[in-house]
Amino acid sequence: MYVPDFQVLLNTDKKPLWEKHETDKNVSKLAVVLLRDNDYCLNIPQLKGECQLKQRHLEMLGYQVVGIKQALWNSMYMSEPKAKLTYLEKLFWPN
């Protein structure tokens, strides 16, 4: 069984929840998966089989899967104040 690196629960208004109540039926589950450089095939931007399988299994468990590349997260661009927060907001709420 696969477990996401981080999990975010969203209500119907796409606002994060602190905890899930058993009565909440309209809760969306967002799985955040951290991706290393060696999770990708050489010379092409495609995930290797094990990572693709993890993503598919998480989707079958009802998660919307979001991947974060380690190289991007640790880049110079992300060292600016609020850059990581802005990146996560765009990743979770693209509209």
- What digits encode the pLDDT tens for the residues 54-77? 999 999 999 999 999 998 889 988
> Using CA of residue 27, residue 17, residue 22, residue 53, what is the dihedral sign?
positive
Whether 23 shows a pLDDT value over 60: the answer reads: no
What is d(CA 71, CA 45) in angstroms, rounded to the nearest whole number? 13
| pLDDT tier, 21 (very low <50, low <70, confident <90, very high otherwise) | low
Q: Number of structural domains, the chain?
A: 1
Within a domain: residue 33? yes
| pLDDT tier, 20 (very low <50, low <70, confident <90, very high otherwise) | low
Whether 15 shows a pLDDT value over 70: the answer reads: yes
68's tokens: 């974060």
Domain that holds residue 30: 6-92
- 68 vs 95, which has greater pLDDT? 68
Within a domain: residue 20? yes
